[in-house]
Every structure is written in structure tokens, then in C-alpha cells.
């Protein structure tokens, strides 16, 4: 069974990976020629951190449920921010 500290550390790493991936996508697509390289570095770092978390050998159902809930919460927050930004930009 996964310890509470293992779940918290894994969520921290996974949150960082998800943020790096999304920032890397935005920067590499919308950035200028100088900042696109930084976007690609963010993509690589985010993919590496995501691979690290998913390669951990946790067989606990509690751990997997908490990771899925965390990813859902992060994505929900990101979608809410994007909708807010679109509404602000359109007005």
C-alpha cells in the first residue's frame, strides 16, 4: 500500500510534468524563434518526468485512484483557465 508521502511526492512530480508539457506546447507553438527552443526543452523535461512517475511500480489501488483524481483536477483547472482567457480575449 502506498504511503501518504509517496502519494504526495508523486502528485508533485506529476503536476510539474503536466505543467511542463502544457507550457512546452504553448511556448513551442506560439513562441518566437529564440523561445521555441525553451519550449522544446520544457516538452522533453515534462515527458521525462511523466515517464518517471508512470514507471514507478505501485500496485496500490489507492495510489492509482489518487493519481487519476489529481490529473482530473489539474485538467479541469486548466480547461477552466482556458475558457476564462477565451472569454476575456473575446470581449
Alpha carbon distance 66, 58 (integer Å):
12
15: its cell numbers: 503536476
Determine the pLDDT at residue 57.
64
Determine the pLDDT at residue 1.
53
**Positions in the chain short of pLDDT 70:** 1-2, 57-59
Q: How many CB atoms lie within 10 A of CB 45?
A: 16
Determine the pLDDT at residue 2.
61
Question: pTM here?
Answer: 0.69
User: Which residues fall within 8 angstroms of residue 33, CB to CB, at 6 or more apart?
Assistant: none
Amino acid at each position: 500500500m502506498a504511503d501518504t508521502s509517496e502519494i504526495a511526492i508523486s502528485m508533485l512530480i506529476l503536476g510539474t510534468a503536466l505543467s511542463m508539457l502544457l507550457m512546452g506546447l504553448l511556448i513551442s507553438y506560439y513562441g518566437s524563434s529564440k523561445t521555441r527552443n525553451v519550449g522544446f526543452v520544457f516538452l522533453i523535461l515534462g515527458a521525462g518526468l511523466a515517464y518517471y512517475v508512470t514507471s514507478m511500480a505501485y500496485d496500490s489501488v489507492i495510489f492509482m485512484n489518487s493519481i487519476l483524481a489529481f490529473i482530473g483536477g489539474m485538467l479541469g483547472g486548466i480547461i477552466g483557465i482556458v475558457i476564462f482567457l477565451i472569454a476575456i480575449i473575446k470581449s
